[in-house]
Amino acid sequence: MSPRLTYLRLSSAIALAAVLAAGPARGASGKDSPSLLLFPVRSHWLSEPLAEAVTASLSNRLTDAGYGVAEMHRDSPALQLAVSEDWVSADILKRGNLEAAREPLAVAIGAGASIAGEVVEREAEVGLSLLVAATVSEKETHLEIGVPRTGNRKADAAELASGVVAALTPELWSSVAADPEGAARSAQARHAAGQAAMAEGMYREALLDFDAALIGAPGNADYLSAAAEARAALGDYSGAMVRMRTLAAIRPSDAEVALRLGYAALRAGEAVRAESAFLAAAEELRNDPRVVEGLALSARAQGETGRAEEYYQVLVSILPALSGAPSALPWLLANAEETVVLTGASPDQLPRQLGRLYLAGGHAAEGVAVLLAYHLEGDQPPYEDEKYMRLCARIDGEAETVARAAQGVFAAQALGQFSDEQAASQMDYLHNRSEAMASLAEQMSTSSLLEPAHRYRVLAYNFLNQSNFESLMHLRTREAERQRRADLLRTAFRKSLAQARSLAVDLLGAEPED
């Protein structure tokens, strides 16, 4: 009795019989046929010995036919790779339902198709039901193969395996778009699906599509670039750099590719490789701010802050957004603990970054001024709680500095170090600084959790500003009552600020480290 095969989706039994009569699969050398992910053949528990024999026979026969076969089982290296790459949850190992993660497993190891089957022993026949699924196109077909039961399970398993290999014809691979031409066409659809997922912020889903597209078209520059972008969005900077290096090898003279490789290498912690890529990009994009900043960041990452500062000086001079920036900015960028990427920042986020940088570097007045200008432009998104706390810790320091400086003005005047005019001028300057802080606090938007604490902070800065105004009026009018009110307001400032800090810590449970 000859093997019985039936296509449930894609072909008729007559057509398939004709194919089988033609002999083994043409082109099953691996060149025209996909690599395969083979799941263990399932069975009723009484037929487990047969299922194990069929799985082993399938693996051997498919390998002999030229397929690259990866066997999927609980201890499979392919499964361990998929788990380590976060393609598959480790919980799947406990549940044992490996086929539930068929597609991500196939994509993780780069398999063009997967095979899963179930065997049953009947009275006179052994049957095998197979699901053959193409990875890139996601199309699938069912095969049913039957051979006479001989009672020798190894022999029956070998017969079934022979029938499977014969059934995997070029026509079958073409029907599920798992042949090279069909996979390449399907890759376009997967790339488009990945782009849509990226737009929705679904980076893991997008990466699955992009890497599937790369199975269908391994050297496609657009797919490599998209996969690198998705990896970076997921925080896998090493994986992003691997794909960018492949892209750079395909396009060795493309300066934009070299530039992106540089930033990918920076994120992956490979500063020397990053600098090499930026230097390559500079041959064509010499005055591009992205290249200059890349070189600055590379030098900074290597601990060469002096060289980084030189690059930052060039960057500050060619970025319109930084016109009028303090002369200390290049030094701050090269030496600050926090890395600020200026060319990659959106216009609405750059002031926030620079404001924090100035505050952290001791240029409090400039930091407050930049942040105030940013918030006065319109409704701005609320600060995340921890970022709000860190930022306000620095502005609080500026407020206390101003409060002490105001007291110092009168001490210096009493000692004859300031004339009345000099004292009034200095007090006017301090009043402007406190007014900027009070205005900034009123404009800042916080989360609902920290809103009660923020109201105390707004009150505190306004107390300080009013105190400085009364001091300034005292210098101009010599009214003693003005100075008495200034002292009372300064005390109210410190009490309100202490209340703001205490309440924020209570609400958050702990004060974040600066």
Q: Could you tell me if 109 and 194 lie in one domain?
A: no
Together in a domain, 105 and 212: no
Report in angstroms the alpha-carbon separations of 33 from 137, 269, 318: 14, 39, 54
Residue that is last in its domain, among 219, 235, 251 = 235
The answer to whether residue 130 is domain-embedded is yes
- Domain encompassing residue 445: 385-508
Give yes or no: residues 30 and 149 share one domain. yes
Q: Determine the pLDDT at residue 353.
A: 82
Dist. CA 244–CA 38, nearest whole Å:
31
How far out from the chain centre does Cα 410 lie?
54
User: In total, how many domains does the chain have?
Assistant: 3
Q: Are 172 and 186 found together in one domain?
A: no
Domain check: are 12 and 77 in the same one? yes
Identify the band that residue 21 occupies on the pLDDT scale cut at 50, 70 and 90: very low
Residue 377 lies in a domain: no
24-28, 97-101, 126-130, 407-411: range with lowest mean pLDDT: 24-28
Q: Is the same domain home to 174 and 131?
A: yes
Decide if 133 is inside a domain: yes
pLDDT value for 11: 29
**186 membership: H or E segment, kind and range:** helix 180-199
Which element (helix H / strand E) includes 494?
helix 480-508
Specify whether 444 is located in the same domain as 400.
yes
Residue 91: is it exposed, middle or buried by C-beta count within 10 angstroms (0-12/13-18/19+)?
exposed
pLDDT in tens, 44-94: 888 999 999 999 999 999 999 999 998 887 778 877 777 777 777 777 666
**Weakest mean pLDDT among 275-279, 344-348, 366-370:** 344-348
Whether the model pTM is above 0.85: no
With respect to residue 107, please indicate whether it lies within any of the assigned structural domains. Answer: yes
Among 201, 220, 235, which residue terminates a domain?
235
Residue 280 lies in a domain: no
Together in a domain, 139 and 19: yes
121 and 215, same structural domain? no
Give the Cα-Cα-Cα angle 109, 112, 113 (nearest 5 degrees). Answer: 100
Which of 208, 235, 262 terminates a domain? The answer is 235
pLDDT digits (tens, 9 = 90+) for 202-222: 999 999 999 999 999 998 999
Nearest Cα neighbor of 271 from 232, 241, 306 is 241
CB-based contact 446:454 (threshold 8 Å): yes
Band of the pLDDT at 303, cuts 50, 70, 90?
A: very high
Q: Which of 314, 254, 324, 262 is nearest to 288 (CA)?
A: 314
Give, as one character, the DSSP assignment of residue 320. Answer: G
CATH code, domain carrying 124 = 3.40.50.10610
Helix (H, G, I), strand (E, B) or coil at 86: coil
Sequence letter at residue 406: A
Residues 14 and 160 in one domain: yes
Q: Is residue 35 part of a domain?
A: yes
Does residue 349 belong to any structural domain of this protein? no
* Mean pLDDT value across residues 504-512: 76
Q: Does 390 share its domain with 490?
A: yes
170 lies in the same domain as 190: no
The number of CA neighbours under 13 Å toward the Cβ of 190 is: 33
Q: Which residue has the higher pLDDT, 245 or 325?
A: 245
- Decide: 358 and 395 in contact? Cβ < 8 Å: no
Does 376 reside within a domain? no
Low-confidence winner among 117-121, 366-370, 495-499 (lowest mean pLDDT): 366-370
